[in-house]
């Protein structure tokens, strides 16, 4: 099977596409990645998600900045699995997971793996075995240490974020 990067919503298409390329993707260049779009229904009862692009037989990665209630990530993961994705990994810089309901959603079968940084402690999530099995926490300490070292040696910080 192969992998696919999925933009969790239309506003994240450009940043998701930039993850696929060593250099930022110019707005004139066409990059095709699956997109999950949230459509607000007139009744305002709920959002419905449509997936644009083929995900059948794919390992899909949903990349987002913050996961709080996990509703969007779980809904997109569910649609991807229903569209034939064999595995869904959610990657987020910050995982607030601010409620028991968020952890309940992650326990469901739609998300196979949740990769987050240690910018927010995950003690409550780790107490739940089904969530702990899916959770992978990456340390930001090496990044911060390198930034401090560069500041003290008058080196440029911007190259720290180059590929």
Catalytic residue among 40, 56, 127, 133: 40
What does 13-24 look like in DSSP terms, one character per residue?
HHHHHHHTSSSP
Number of Cβ within a 10 Å radius of residue 95: 27
Strands 135-138 and 58-67, by their bridges, are unpaired
Token pair 């449509």: residue:
50
Q: Is 40 a catalytic residue?
A: yes
Distances (CA, A) of 2 to 5, 55, 57, 60, 140: 10, 10, 7, 9, 28
Strands 35-40 and 87-95, by their bridges, are unpaired
Which residue numbers are catalytic? 40
């Amino acid at each position: 099977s192969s992998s696919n990067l999925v933009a969790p919503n239309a506003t994240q298409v450009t940043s998701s596409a930039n993850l696929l390329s060593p250099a930022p993707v110019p707005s004139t260049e066409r990059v095709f990645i699956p997109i999950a779009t949230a459509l607000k229904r007139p009744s305002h009862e709920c959002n419905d998600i449509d997936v644009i692009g083929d995900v059948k037989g794919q390992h899909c990665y949903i990349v987002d900045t913050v996961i709080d209630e996990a509703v969007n990530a779980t809904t997109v993961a569910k649609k991807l699995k229903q569209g034939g994705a064999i595995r869904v990994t959610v990657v987020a810089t910050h995982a607030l997971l601010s409620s028991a309901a968020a952890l309940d959603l992650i326990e469901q079968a739609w998300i196979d793996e949740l990769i987050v940084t240690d910018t927010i402690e995950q003690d409550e999530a780790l107490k739940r075995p089904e969530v702990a099995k899916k959770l992978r926490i990456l340390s930001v300490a090496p990044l911060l240490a390198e930034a401090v070292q560069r500041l003290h040696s008058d080196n440029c910080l911007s190259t720290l974020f180059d590929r």
